[in-house]
Amino acid sequence: MAHWHNCDHCGCLQLSSAVLRVMVQGCHVFLRNAQVSLQMFAGDCTMLAAAALLPLLLHTALGFKLCPSPCLCYESSDLVDCRSRGLVQVPPSVPHGSWLLDMSGNKLTEVHSRSFKGLWSLKILLMSNNSIQSLQPQSLSSLQFLEKLDLSFNQLRWLPQDFSESLFALLELKLDHNLLQHLDSASLGNFENLRKLDLSYNRIRAMDVRAFNSLSRLSLLNLEGNKLNVLQNGLLSRQQTMEVLLLGHNNISVIETEALTPLRSLTLLSLRGNQLEHIRFKTFQQLHTTSTHLQMSLNPWTCDCDLQRVFGKIQHVRHLHVEDYKDIICHTPAQQAGSCLASLDSQLCVAETASVLVITITVLLAVIGTLVKAEHNRKNKQTVSDAESQRQDIEK
């Protein structure tokens, strides 16, 4: 029970407990159910006090449900749509009970510290197609229950060290089409529950070999369109549940022998559009999966007997399937350039065998010729020696 008194004995205003309940309910509840009991002991000052109090009560009652201008809100403000409103910062008055906030298509250049303070219920945050260049420390610290974060199509060059600190419930993270150049383990260190990570079309050249160590539940990793040149041993050592690995359109020329070994659940591996000239059969033989589809076209393959044998062996492994084998085109040698590897069948190995045979025969003939010549010279020397002996005998 709340009381207000004036010093001139004009009277006393007493509010019933129903009014207190209104202070934590929506405006529609207030208008329907509020019962205000005003006990007036004297004249005009009591009425003035009541009139002054009413806006305060309305503001308090609406505090949790007001929709920030110029956004749109749906389902009692649980969904907040701020798309393409020309905003340069996150609105400070987003309702605390919101579970989806869409800020995509605005003009944000950075996300300030504590921008989402109090938004404990937020599960989906969409901030794509802005001009975000940096995330300030603690900018995402209130989002402990966030499940999806979309920061794609921005201008991020780096991730802060505390980027993942409060995001331990995150399931999906989209960072594609930014300007990231390097990944380290600190910025991704608390993503134990992350299932999908999209880092495609950045400028990533190097990654700490421990960068993905905490991402043990990852099922999809998209690294397409970066500048990677080596797939390192140990980089994916904890990704036993990974199903899709997309590495297309990088500069990868080397896949280290043990790089794919931990991926026991892999169903799709894309290596299209890289700089692969040769591959080792052992690298793929160690993929102990149920069924894995490989995409290998658009690489500058050197078509020789070795390459043909590797692909032949891969295709004889029951759980490995080269989806685009018919699209694998030879880059070198010149006589094979532009030819499809599949169309050459076993010609490369036959040609190589023939070449080896010709070389072997040539060497053999050369050896025989040398032996014959040596024998001929020996006989000539013997003949000369015998003739000299006979001459000496006659002179005696």
pLDDT in tens, 294-324: 999 999 999 999 999 999 999 999 999 999 9
Q: Characterize the bridge pairing of strands 301-302 and 206-207.
A: unpaired
Predicted local distance difference test score (pLDDT) of residue 51: 44
- CATH fold of 68-202+212-222, please? 3.80.10
Q: Rounded mean pLDDT of 34-40?
A: 34
Q: Does domain 228-345 have CATH number 3.80.10.10?
A: yes
pLDDT at 376 over 80: no
Longest Cα–Cα distance in the chain: 172
Query: 92: closest CA among 106, 76, 71?
Result: 71
Phi, psi (rounded to 5 degrees) for 301:
-65, 140
- pTM score, two decimals? 0.75
3-state secondary structure of 238: coil
* Rounded Cα distance, 303 and 278, in Å: 9
Distances (CA, A) of 372 to 37, 125, 221, 233: 130, 87, 67, 56
Least confident of 63-67, 158-162, 204-208, 292-296: 63-67
* Rounded Cα distance, 200 and 281, in Å: 27
* Rounded Cα distance, 262 and 233, in Å: 10
Please give the distance of CA 11 from its chain centroid, rounded to a whole number: 69
pLDDT class for 39, splitting at 50, 70, 90? very low
Predicted local distance difference test score (pLDDT) of residue 350: 64
* Rounded Cα distance, 360 and 357, in Å: 5
pLDDT class for 393, splitting at 50, 70, 90? low
- Taking a C-beta distance cutoff of 8 angstroms, is the pair 322, 291 a contact? no
Burial class (CB in 10 A: 0-12, 13-18, 19+), 343: exposed
- Stated as kind and residue range, the H or E segment containing 106 is none
Q: Which two tokens stand for residue 207?
A: 């990654």
pLDDT class for 367, splitting at 50, 70, 90? confident
